[in-house]
C-alpha cells in the first residue's frame, strides 16, 4: 500500500500503541494525539527517533487545538477514550466529555480536513447482558448499555456513523470484546484481568477470581485486534459495524490454570455478564479477517512480557472487597 498520513488518537495507550507499531512498520507517517490520561508515553519509547512518528500531547475534546493536525491526513484510527465501569458511574460528565464530545471533535476535524477513512474503536459493552438467545452475539443484537462507560462508547459510535451518513465520511466501527496482551492496563478492579493477575503472580499473591471463575470471556489477542483495524482501514467498507473477538470464549478458571498458582474467590459484581461471546461471521466475510493467536499462545506471549507488570499495584482480596463494597454503597445512594 502507498504510504499514507495517519492520525492515531490514544496512540500511547494499550491497543493504540500496538497499532502505531504496525502502521509504522507498514511505512506510513503517523501522528499520535494523546493526553496521556490513561496512555503511557513509555509504550512508544522504542519508537523514539523514528522520523515517521510525531507525538502530540493533546486532549481530543479541545477541537481548536487538535483540528490543525488533521490537515493532509488520509486516515484516522480513533482509540482515545476513558474506560472502566466504576469511574464512569462516579464521574459521568468526564466520560461524556471524552467519549462523546471528544469523538465528535475528532470526526468533525476529520470531515473538515477531507479524511478518506475513519475507524472507530467501539465496545461490546453496548450489548449489556445479552439474553441466552443472543449468544453468540451478532452486530444486530439489542443494545442495552448498563453504565455510563458503555453508553458513552455507544454514543461515540453513533456520532461517528452519523457523520459518515450525513457528510459521506467513510466510517467503520469495530466493537471490541476482551482484548489482552502486552501493555494492557495494570490497575483497576474492574476489567484488566490480565494486568491484575500478572501483578499478583509477580508478587506471589493468589489470583482474585470474581464469582466462581466459570464465567467466560471472549478474549482476543491485541495483535489480532490491530490486524482488524488495519483491514478495516485498508478496505472499502463504509458505514459498517463489526464485532472483533475470538468467537471462542474461555473461562477465568482456565486463565488461572494457564498462569499457574493459587486463587481466591471474591463476590460477583453487578452489571457483569456471565459470558461474552462474539459472532464474528460478518467481519470474516466482509474484511477477510480472522483471529490467528490461540488463547494458549496469547497467554504465553504475555507471560514472556511479564516484567511490564512488575511495578503494577497488587490488588488483594481485602482491597478488592473494600472497592466492591464502595461500589455497592454508591449504587444504593444513586
Give the three cell numbers for residue 281.
461471521
- Closest to 28 (Cα-Cα) out of 56, 54, 9, 46: 54
- Closest to 19 (Cα-Cα) out of 240, 231, 198: 231
CB contact at 8 A, 5 and 73: yes
Based on its alpha-carbon atoms, the radius of gyration of the chain, rounded to whole angstroms, reads 19
Give the three cell numbers for residue 49.
527517533
**Rounded Cα gap, residues 115 and 73, in angstroms:** 6
CB contact at 8 A, 65 and 41: no
Based on the residue annotation, tell me whether 96 is a catalytic residue of this protein: no
Q: Which of 95, 127, 149, 190 is catalytic?
A: 149
Q: What is the DSSP string of 82-105?
A: ---HHHHHH-HHHHHIIIIIHHHH
- Closest to 54 (Cα-Cα) out of 64, 63, 39, 70: 70
Write out the catalytic residue numbers. 149
Amino acid at each position: 500500500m502507498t504510504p499514507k498520513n495517519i492520525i492515531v488518537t490514544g496512540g500511547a495507550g494499550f491497543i493504540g500503541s500496538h497499532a502505531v507499531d504496525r502502521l509504522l512498520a507498514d511505512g506510513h507517517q503517523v501522528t499520535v494525539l494523546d493526553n496521556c490520561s490513561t496512555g503511557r508515553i513509555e509504550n512508544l519509547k522504542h519508537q523514539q527517533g523514528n522520523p515517521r512518528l510525531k507525538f502530540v500531547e493533546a486532549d481530543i475534546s479541545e477541537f481548536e487545538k487538535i483540528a490543525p493536525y488533521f490537515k493532509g491526513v488520509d486516515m484516522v484510527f480513533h482509540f482515545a477514550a476513558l474506560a472502566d465501569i466504576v469511574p464512569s458511574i462516579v464521574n459521568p460528565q468526564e466520560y461524556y466529555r471524552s467519549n462523546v464530545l471528544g469523538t465528535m471533535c475528532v470526526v468533525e476535524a476529520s470531515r473538515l480536513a477531507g479524511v478518506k477513512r475513519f475507524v472507530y474503536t467501539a465496545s461490546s459493552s453496548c450489548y449489556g447482558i445479552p439474553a441466552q438467545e443472543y449468544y453468540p452475539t451478532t452486530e444486530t443484537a439489542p443494545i442495552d448499555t448498563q453504565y455510563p462507560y458503555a453508553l458513552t462508547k455507544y454514543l461515540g459510535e453513533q456520532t461517528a456513523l452519523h457523520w459518515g451518513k450525513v457528510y459521506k465520511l467513510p466510517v467503520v466501527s469495530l466493537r471490541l470484546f476482551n482484548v489482552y496482551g502486552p501493555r494492557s492496563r495494570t490497575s483497576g478492579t474492574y476489567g484488566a484481568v490480565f494486568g491484575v493477575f500478572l501483578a499478583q503472580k509477580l508478587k506471589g499473591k493468589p489470583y482474585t477470581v470474581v464469582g466462581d471463575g466459570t464465567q467466560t470471556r471472549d478474549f482476543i489477542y491485541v495483535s489480532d485486534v490491530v490486524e482488524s483495524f488495519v483491514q478495516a482501514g485498508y478496505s472499502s467498507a463504509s458505514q459498517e459495524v463489526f464485532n472483533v473477538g475470538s468467537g471462542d470464549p474461555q473461562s477465568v478458571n482456565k486463565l488461572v490454570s494457564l498462569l499457574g498458582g493459587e486463587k481466591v474467590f471474591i463476590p460477583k459484581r453487578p452489571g457483569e455478564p456471565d459470558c461474552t461471546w462474539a459472532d464474528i461471521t460478518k467481519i470474516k466475510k466482509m474484511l477477510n479477517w480472522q483471529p490467528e493467536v490461540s488463547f494458549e499462545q496469547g497467554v504465553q506471549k504475555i507471560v514472556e512480557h511479564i516484567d511490564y507488570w512488575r511495578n503494577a499495584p497488587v490488588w488483594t482480596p481485602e482491597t478488592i472487597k473494600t472497592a466492591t463494597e464502595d461500589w455497592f454503597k454508591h449504587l444504593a445512594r444513586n
